[in-house]
Structure 1
């Protein structure tokens, strides 16, 4: 399949890049400072694109590749891919679900524990020698706290399962109630926030979920509540979150994602009740290898006429 042109627009695991280079004619976006130069020489030969949320496949790129057949998203969220344009042109789209569920759910629990028990601050307390001057202040326990989850999909369910191990009551919000779920359902995010101690954002990013965490939700969570975001930065109205934390209207926040990554609001850096991570939810060796294998498996399936392993449904009612 070496004659098949493939465009890599994002940074991936070296293992995946090596496999793509071995099996396909690989064009790296990073090798071309000017997109026009790449397109003028190779656009017609590119039949597949590998991308992610940060470096995606927008309408302009898709239109510029006349023989594009498939877009492979190295991640779960496909908000970096213009699905409408793909549907219009009959281009297939895949992602890498399931394999990163455990890593992201693990991190969500880690964020909760780190935030409530002030683990980062405790570490600094010991390193700076302050422990010799006195005991560290009391913190808040996780066990028994009510956890509300926005989005009860694969990752949301995995977080709920882990939180149950801490004897936490679980409740959730989703577009529709899930009859098979044993957890309490609330028909709005404001109601969910009003009835939980810890609110975890774990839904997909869509037009409906953009800024789903707004001032009303934050105020409903209140000065003793905690917000955890392992979804997408744009789920949260970041300006409202910052003001709530600065003004003491929210108890704390654990954030792995931000609205304008890698830029983080400067006001958050001086706050003790905030834990900030550089979007590392799925960032484990095991997960990245599994994601890479899914990309390779989908490519092989497509170019051998077999069913895709993890296709994205492009019917209008889904998108």
Structure 2
């Protein structure tokens, strides 16, 4: 029997042959119209779905696929996958936690460096024929706060050591396997940081962890980077803090309504923006698709999947 996978993700086509070579039949539906058509047309055939957190997979779609057995999410976040609907049907959900951590950590540090050292503005000034010289902070000796000390947070902390920064973090629980300083709340972490990097999953449990109070605690010399999910930061509070220089700057790879970025952010000179590309690299794309293949092969062989997503408590 052929196992059919509905592929919703749009950025890993080069590596999809990994799934085909593993024996899976693929149906590509990488935009909303194709997605709806594929669910309606091939509902009886689809056994697995490949998606990512922002794309998700919803209860009505799950209900339309009577033979769906497993949903695989590329990347760590699964905030728009309806876990309750999957659980009710006995559908397994997996993610790619940790697989793209090196790429995301590299991008986080790149955004931090670009923002703190004012690289975009310096580049633009040279291209305009100016010779703009502005004194900017160094990273050495600064305090880095990491919100979310999972695989990505740990990878960021390791890179920060190369810049002689001290690291503090906030997590749902303190980690006994790490020697970094733990802060009990996001606001406490912000107050203990010169630079704050958001690396926690999205979803209801982390919504607006960074709000006006946390940004006030970060202060007028503080910088914030978000390579996680836009929902973790209150965008209204962030824009207000940036406009009134209550923080020094922000670097963002994620937004509330992608690909639509608010003009209020695009108009600010103390903001660096990138189009949700932190997790994209040839290595990360290959490895995330390979993780999907490994999870699918394990599941359909009757073995435990490698990276199961925990289901909500009933």
Larger CA deviation: 196-205 vs 265-274: 265-274
Output one character per residue of 1:119-152: Cα deviation in whole Å (capped at 9) or x when no partner.
Answer: 1111112111102xxx511111111110111111
- Counterpart CA distance in 1 for 2:143 and 2:169 is 11
Q: Which residue of 2 aligns with 1:238?
A: 235
Query: Could you tell me the TM-score, scaled by structure 2's length?
Result: 0.93
Residue-by-residue CA offset, 1:69-119 (whole Å, 9 max, x unaligned): 000112211112111211121101111122211111111111111111011
Structure-2 separation of matches of 1:68 and 1:242: 42
1:288 is aligned to 2:285? yes
Q: What is the aligned-residue RMSD (CA, Å)?
A: 1.9
CA distance in 2, matches of 1:232, 1:315: 20
* Distance across 1 between alignment mates of 2:78 and 2:252: 20
> What are the residue-to-residue correspondences of 1:29-40 with 2, within 5 Å?
29-30=29-30, 33=33, 37-40=37-40
> Which residue in the other structure is 2:158 paired with?
161
Secondary structure at the counterpart of residue 44 of structure 1: coil
Is the partner of 1:129 in helix, strand or coil?
coil
TM-score scaled by structure 1?
0.92
**Of residues 263, 266, 274 in structure 1, which corresponds to 2:263?**
266
Offset from partner CA, 1:234-254 (integer Å, 9 cap, x none): 111001101110111111001
**Inter-CA distance 35–308: structure 2 relative to 1 (3 Å threshold):** closer
Q: Is the 1:112–1:142 contact (alpha carbons within 8 Å) kept by the matching residues of 2?
A: no
Q: CA deviation at 1:225?
A: 0.6
Q: Measured at CA, do residues 170 and 32 of structure 1 come closer, stay the same or move farther in structure 2, by a change above 3 Å?
A: closer
Report what 1:71 is aligned to: 71
Distance 2:178 2:151 in 1: 13
Quote how far apart the aligned CAs of 1:50 are.
0.8
The 8 Å contact of residues 8 and 35 in structure 2, kept in 1 or not, is answered as: no
CA distance in 2 between counterparts of 1:187 and 1:266 reads 34
| Correspondences of 1:10-29 after superposition (within 5 Å) | 10-20=9-19, 23-29=23-29
3-state DSSP of counterpart to 1:33: helix
Distance 1:32 1:121 in 2: 36
Partner of 1:6: 5
Further displaced range: 167-176 or 10-19: 10-19
1:197 equivalent among 194, 214, 234 = 194
1:316 equivalent in structure 2: 313
Evaluate the alpha carbon distance shift between residue 106 and residue 47 of structure 1 in structure 2; reply closer, same or farther with a 3 A threshold. same
CA contact (8 A) 2:54 2:79 kept: no
Tell whether the 8 Å contact from 1:148 to 1:197 is kept in structure 2 after alignment: yes
Gaps of at least 5 residues in structure 1 are none
For 1:100 and 1:24, locate their aligned partners in 2 and report how far apart those are by CA, in whole Å: 23
Q: Pairwise mapping of residues 1-319 of structure 1 onto structure 2 (< 5 A)?
A: 3-20=2-19, 23-30=23-30, 33=33, 37-131=37-131, 135-314=132-311, 316=313
When residues 276 and 284 of structure 1 are mapped into structure 2, their CA distance, relative to the original with a 3 A threshold, is: same
CA distance in 1 between partners of 2:38 and 2:102 (Å): 38
CA distance in 1, matches of 2:46, 2:291: 20
CA–CA separation in structure 2 for the residues paired with 1:75 and 1:119: 29
Q: Which runs of 5+ in 2 are unaligned?
A: none
Stretch of structure 1 that moved more, 158-167 or 172-181: 172-181
Q: 1:246 to 1:60 in 2, by over 3 A?
A: same
